[in-house]
Amino acid sequence: MSNFAKTDILTENQKHLFVQGLEKGLNLHEDENGKTVWNCLHNYEFVHARRALDQIGMSVEQINEVIDFCKKNGGYCDCEIMLNVICAD
């Protein structure tokens, strides 16, 4: 079980909504060759993650707490949050 699944900084519903919002922001999809692709800026701005957290009503302080948690668990950009934090086992 990933640290994301075990953390209590988000409720289970917030985790679900955050993952949905991050997937939408990253535009995760398969290309014409069946390869999974996404749109990530690969920087420390966390545009998609911050937007997803804002949309579920989190305060700036709460958003920063989640982003800090993600960084400590290998999420150094939006796609790494998905790959290294959320999908880690």
Residue 81 near residue 87 (C-beta atoms within 8 A): no
Q: What is the dihedral of CA 74, 48, 10, 7, to 10 degrees?
A: -10
Q: What's the rounded Cα separation, in Å, for the pair 42 and 63?
A: 19
The predicted pLDDT at position 71 comes to: 97
Q: pLDDT tens, 17-72?
A: 999 999 999 998 999 999 999 999 999 999 999 999 999 999 999 999 999 999 99
Q: How many residues does the chain have?
A: 89
Give me the residue spans of the domains in the chain.
12-87
The predicted pLDDT at position 2 comes to: 83
3-state secondary structure of 80: helix
> CB neighbours (10 Å) of residue 41?
12
pLDDT band at 89 (very low <50, low <70, confident <90, very high): low
